[in-house]
Amino acid sequence: MLVKENTKSCEEIPPLLIDNETYTNNENEIANALNDYIVSVATVNDEDSNYPPLSLKTNQILDEIMVSEQVIINILSNLDINKASGPDGISHKMLKHSCNSICKPLSLLFNQSLRESQNPNAWKIANVIPLFKKRK
């Protein structure tokens, strides 16, 4: 049961059964358990899927866009170093402090991706964590 019976308000998160025998009130354990469950049921393997053909609505393609080194430097210089890193594990602090060294290879990589109209699969991965917001 997720909601306590006979309560007028939900001031706290109710206990959650996390491993078929243990209940927890710890918000981090509850968030991690919910995340693990969502990941286990939401994983989709669509490698063998056949998608219907899509008709183009325009003749324009993104191969004419160029990402300059200066644009990359500007973006990396404005990263918030207090934010969490992505799935690659590279911290914002590392990206921010190495922006002058990595802007050239990143520019080449982004421009090649736009020119070939292909994005690496690693760019399609994200860390998604549901967070409970306390009631006011």
pLDDT digits (tens, 9 = 90+) for 91-100: 999 999 999 9
Structure pTM? Answer: 0.51
Task: Extract the residue ranges of the chain whose pLDDT is less than 50.
Answer: 1-4, 7-10
| pLDDT at position 97 | 93
CB-based burial label for 80 (10 Å; 0-12, 13-18, 19+): exposed
Q: Are residues 112 and 68 in the same domain?
A: yes
Contact 64, 49 (CB under 8 A): no
Residue 130 domain-assigned? no
Q: Are residues 33 and 70 in the same domain?
A: no
Q: Are residues 69 and 39 in the same domain?
A: no
Residue 133 domain-assigned? no
Q: Are residues 69 and 114 in the same domain?
A: yes
Q: Are residues 38 and 83 in the same domain?
A: no
Residue 21 domain-assigned? yes
Residue 124 domain-assigned? no
The C-alpha atoms of residue 15 and residue 26 are separated, in whole angstroms, by 8
Number of folded domains that form the chain: 2
Q: Are residues 67 and 113 in the same domain?
A: yes
**Of 77, 68, 75, whose CA–CA distance to 107 is shortest?**
68
The C-alpha atoms of residue 90 and residue 10 are separated, in whole angstroms, by 38
Q: Are residues 69 and 24 in the same domain?
A: no
Q: 8-24 as b/e, with b when 16 or more CB fall inside 10 Å? A: eeeeebeebebeeeeeb
Residue 49 domain-assigned? no
Parent domain of 2: 1-43
Q: Is 24 strand, coil or helix?
A: strand
Residue 54 domain-assigned? no
Residue 50 domain-assigned? no
Q: Are residues 70 and 37 in the same domain?
A: no
Q: Are residues 39 and 68 in the same domain?
A: no
